C-alpha cells in the first residue's frame, strides 16, 4: 500500500477519493481533516463493507499507523484502491490544509 503526503491526499479527495478517518469518535470530534468520514478501526471488521470498492480510499488517523493497519485489512478483503496518508491528521494540519472539529472552533482555516 502506498503512503501519500497530505497535499496528495487532498488532491485525490478533490478528484473523488473518499477520506476515511479510522480514529475513535472523540479524536475525530476534536480535530479532523475537512471532509473526512469516520469509520473507527475498532469497528472496521464489522463495517468495512460500507466502504465503496469503486472509489479510491485515502486512510487517515492521528499519525499514520492505525490507518496503515486499516488499509492493509481492506486490501486483504478485496479493496485494491487504498492508500495511507503518511503522518495522519497531524501532518494534514501542519501542512495548513483545512480542518474541522472542536479544537479549531473560532480559528480561520
Tell me if 74 sits within 8 A of 57, measured CB to CB.
yes
106 annotated active-site: no
Closest by CA to 36, choosing from 52, 54, 57, 63, is 57
Q: Which residue among the candidates 18, 61, 68, 85 is catalytic per the annotation?
A: 61
CA distances from 59 to 28, 46, 108 (A): 13, 17, 25
List active site positions.
Answer: 61
Amino acid at each position: 500500500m502506498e503512503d501519500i503526503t497530505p497535499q496528495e491526499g487532498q488532491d485525490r479527495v478533490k478528484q473523488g477519493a473518499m477520506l476515511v478517518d479510522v480514529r475513535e469518535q472523540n479524536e475525530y470530534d476534536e480535530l479532523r481533516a475537512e471532509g473526512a468520514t469516520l469509520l473507527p478501526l475498532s469497528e472496521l471488521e464489522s463495517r468495512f463493507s460500507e466502504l465503496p470498492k469503486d472509489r479510491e480510499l485515502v486512510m487517515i488517523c492521528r499519525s499514520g499507523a492505525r490507518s496503515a493497519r486499516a488499509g492493509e485489512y481492506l486490501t486483504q478483503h478485496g479493496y485494491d484502491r487504498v492508500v495511507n496518508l503518511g503522518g495522519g491528521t497531524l501532518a494534514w494540519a501542519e501542512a495548513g490544509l483545512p480542518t474541522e472539529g472542536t479544537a479549531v472552533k473560532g480559528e480561520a482555516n
